[in-house]
Amino acid sequence: MIQASVYKPQRFFAITYAITWVSWFLAAFLSYQEGGETLFIPFLIPGLVAPFATALWMILRSRSSGLKKRFTSRLFDPRLIKPASLLPILTIMPATVLVSAWISLLFGQPLTQFQLAEGFSFSVGFVPVLIVLILAATFEELGWRSYALDSLNVKSNYFTATLIFALLWAGWHLPLFFINGYYQNEIVRMNLLYGVNFMVSVIPMAFIISWLCRLNRGSILIAILFHFLINMCQEALQITQVTKCIETGVLFLIAAVIVLLNQKMFFEKPREALA
């Protein structure tokens, strides 16, 4: 068993935020300088890796063999994954995007949204966007699901822990809105509400990933897979930002149904120790 005292959530988020915000705000500054279109890219890496690097550092220095074994098992053991869970993992986001696009037609959005995108909606200099999407899903979930959420769950029930985490996860993205040419920067230039929608959309996504992760006995691989599918589904079709606002509403509905159907999971008492 892993005692609750092993986890230090305040320290984890303070370090993660410090590394990410310093490196990403530096990237934002450089992105507006002459020739900075590529100069800022190396400064994205520390912030991207920060959740995992911080989690790994805290796990290793915890002197808890149980915490180390738990991390290794959740990352490498495929037996944690329930085959039946693969259906919702593979269908929730594609279905959400398609339903949202159909609803958007009622608000005057074009049928061309159902066409495959000709390319990615943003660029990161010379780095292939697909690589960025893969690395983002991997390094984020390696940190969030190996340490961050558990550290909150030992003091709060799973619902409250996920909600707190969702708000912190949304805030973690803030510097990206200031990086010239980055996705978050592009949408906020279109309309500030689109930027707000991105931040709000993180909340239901956090609940859905939390559910899938717990459903598969804490598997980090599942969290990485679903996070990557979220990223890819946002880029696969020519959906508009209006549709993405509708999509946020659909995701909230899905998350609400998940919580209602899994009240024992989300509202059980905080764990004094984790197996």
C-alpha dist (Å) from residue 33 to 1, 27, 30, 218? 52, 10, 5, 43
**227 classed as catalytic:** no
Catalytic residue among 37, 173, 227, 272: 173
What is the rounded distance in angstroms from the CA atom of residue 254 to the CA atom of residue 140? 22
What is the rounded distance in angstroms from the CA atom of residue 33 to the CA atom of residue 39? 9
What is the rounded distance in angstroms from the CA atom of residue 6 to the CA atom of residue 4? 5
C-alpha dist (Å) from residue 239 to 104, 113, 244? 9, 5, 7
Catalytic residue among 118, 140, 227, 247: 140
What is the rounded distance in angstroms from the CA atom of residue 81 to the CA atom of residue 222? 7
C-alpha dist (Å) from residue 154 to 69, 126, 144, 168? 18, 42, 14, 17
**140 classed as catalytic:** yes
Q: Which residues are catalytic?
A: 140, 173
